[in-house]
Amino acid sequence: MAAEPRAPSRRLRTVGGSAARPAKLNREVVINAALSFLDREGWDALTVNALAAHLGTKGPSLYNHVQSLDDLRRTVRVRVIGEIITMLGRAAEGRSGDDAVLFMAGAYRSYARHHPGRYSAFTRMPLAGGDDPEFTAATKGAAVPVMAVLSSYGLDLEQAFPAALEFWSALHGFVMLEMTGVMDDFIDTDNLFTDMVLRLAAGMQRRGEPVVL
């Protein structure tokens, strides 16, 4: 009996030991792939050739969609900032005061833990965009949802911006320490984080109180 003819098999390019099906590339596909790559490999590993291998293609083909490595990294950072702004806004939606601060801080910490590569992109130097107005506007925009929440403590715009920087500095410091694992063996990091955020919130409350002469 003649053997049944086999359907032609489509070869898949192997990336990192697993088969990856080539996708039709466009700028959106490339940027989304870069975000996934960041969380798996880290910021320093993000190059055009490495991302091309991740996508199952050759480096030169990506230049049809990004101008350069700088263009790729800048676009990724702007996208990450947008993700964080959206995440913070959703976390605080319908909330105010300590409730909003706790939810927002928890969402920020969770983002950093689940997307370490993206978080690294967010905090890379320089944070400001220099002569790039779009990037500068994006970075400043990250403070807007935080300032909106802090205004619920009675802070005006002049008070809310430095308060937002203080708040972010504390969260970023905690997140970076937690990522190293140095606190895991001797303290409950969840309780420590909540306590820190509530202490910050108490400070915001005092900032908003009228000065008695």
11-60 pLDDT per residue, tens = 434 444 444 445 588 999 999 999 999 999 999 999 999 999 999 999 89
Query: In the prediction, which pLDDT does 5 show?
Result: 41
d(CA 94, CA 183): 33
Q: What is the pLDDT of residue 185?
A: 75
201's enclosing H/E stretch is helix 189-208
* The two structure tokens encoding residue 116: 């370490």
SS3 state at 14? strand
Over residues 97-151, the pLDDT tens digits come to 999 999 999 999 999 999 999 998 888 766 555 567 777 787 778 888 999 999 9
pLDDT value for 194: 96
b/e map 51-64, b = 16+ CB within 10 Å: bbbbbbbeeeebee
Position 52 scores a pLDDT of 95
Q: Which residues contact 204 (CB under 8 A, 6 or more apart)?
A: 101, 150, 153, 155, 163, 167
Residue-averaged pLDDT of the chain: 83
CB-based contacts of 50, cutoff 8 Å, min separation 6: 37, 41
Nearest to 102 by CA among 201, 204, 3, 206: 201
Average pLDDT on 160-184 reads 90
Residue type at 190 in one-letter notation: D
Please give the structure tokens belonging to residue 213: 């002469």
188 conformational bin, left if phi > 0, alpha if psi -120 to 50, beta if neither: beta
Q: Which domains does the chain have, with CATH numbers?
A: 21-66 (1.10.10.60), 79-208 (1.10.357.10)
Q: Write down the pLDDT at residue 126.
A: 60
**What's the pLDDT score for residue 125?**
60
Between residues 8 and 54, the one the model is more confident about: 54
Asked if residues 62 and 30 have their Cβ atoms less than 8 Å apart, the reply is yes
pLDDT at 70 over 70: yes
pLDDT band at residue 186 under the 50/70/90 scheme: confident
Torsion angle of the four alpha carbons 170, 174, 177, 183, in this order, in degrees rounded to the nearest 10: 140
